[in-house]
Structure 1
């Protein structure tokens, strides 16, 4: 029997393929909470990053410090109707922020070329809803990124950390086995999605949520500052369950080679 080889790479968007530092979702969440009278920090906002956006709001309000601040301002605990209201306000702001942060991560276009050369199908999942990413997908295509499949968070019930969106990619791209898929993401929720789908998983650290720095801010650091910042970012994802951790998608090629080696030896995710 011919040994298994990778057939599909399923990639996240913000922090993995576009929006270095995953800045767009951060700004939108902080703004809607500020409008509701509650100041939230960047650190608090990033904790649920990668989940579907209404769930992200729910998990933020479950943080003791945010819930306490909410009750001080509103005189009562938050309710589901508050989550609904915040989410309705989020969508237009999020679309604007995504539009401002749609620049591809350097090297993403070349990655797509290399994946095509390997006959690896390209899928994608995201914590964004479909309406939020429509403009981003157009801009990504203009910059050389046109995946074979895109599944938004509102198109797969139980997505992130559940496997639904990743598995929908498998079905739509007609991949014979989840063992032949690798999920690449910058958040723990996205890695759990891949693991729960039975796939190989790769966490990208420095271009995404764990680092949080824009490309300009990252490039402005001294070499020593970059080393120190990298250590902290890697520590945030070291226990997320990923099979591999890399700086960004430019470091993916050796991982693909190693996964194919392991598949040939009979190893599975």
Structure 2
């Protein structure tokens, strides 16, 4: 039996949407449109990886955001406020994800390599089903069509950092054991999801939320700036418990082979 049976891939910042821009920019826009309330892109990134309702709720609890919200509205952000922002967010997000559906350079080659190893391609996302229904067919036109797609609101148990979406991939794809699965993600909640599911985990530092730059912005950074950003991103993902961290999906082959060898020796995550 092959040692690694399946990888479960995140979407934005992992396979598509270099820098994970589609969700972060829309969080900023949705709060502005819903309540004329301003947040920064940096604040929008802090809860990244959570389901989007949970993300908005977490934003409202960030000390900087909570203080400004209370100053503007004389009360904390309520669940009703979160609902209204979420309902503003979703239609904006459905439009935006289509613009960021093209796979990150090198991602398709990595996925093709995985398929050549007879490894199944699972996926899950912090996006709800109606956003995924907009994203998935456009990504397929670019050549990315995973074997399984699980959205943040598909399961009654909930979303990240719980294990349920990752485990639903195991269920749908008929994987024999969770320790034969690798969860690959660019954000802390996605790494925690994989750990909570009993899987191996690989963090992606450069292309996703941990660095948070577009490809053009990254290329414009100096060598010193790149080194600083990558050190910070690697530290963030390793501190979350990632077994391994690499720059991008195109760099995973060597790590998958290492994990396969560890499984063959009887090691578990």
Residues 96-137 of structure 1 deviation map (CA, whole Å, 9 limit, x = unaligned):
221221121111111121111100000001000111122221
TM-score for both structures, normalised by structure 2:
0.96
Q: Which residue of 2 aligns with 1:198?
A: 198
TM-score, length-scaled by structure 1: 0.96
Matches within 5 A, 1:1-269: 5-35=3-33, 36-156=35-155, 157-269=157-269
Structure 2 unaligned residues grouped into runs of 5+: none
Work out the CA distance in 1 between the residues paired with 2:117 and 2:242.
23
The alpha carbon displacement at 1:38 in A equals 2.0
Count matched residues.
267
**What's the offset of the Cα at 1:232?**
2.4
User: CA shift at 1:146, angstroms?
Assistant: 0.9
Contact 2:26 2:93 in 1 (8 A): yes
Which runs of at least 4 in structure 1 moved beyond 4 Å after TM superposition? none
SS of equivalent to 1:90:
helix
**Aligned Cα root-mean-square deviation (Å):** 1.2
In the alignment, is the contact (CA less than 8 A) between 1:38 and 1:66 conserved in 2? no
For residues 235 and 176 of structure 1, what CA distance do their matches in structure 2 show?
A: 32
Q: 1-side partners of 2:267 and 2:206: how far apart?
A: 28
Q: Which moved more, 1:252-261 or 1:235-244?
A: 235-244
**Whole-Å Cα distance in 2 between the matches of residues 102 and 217 of structure 1?**
19
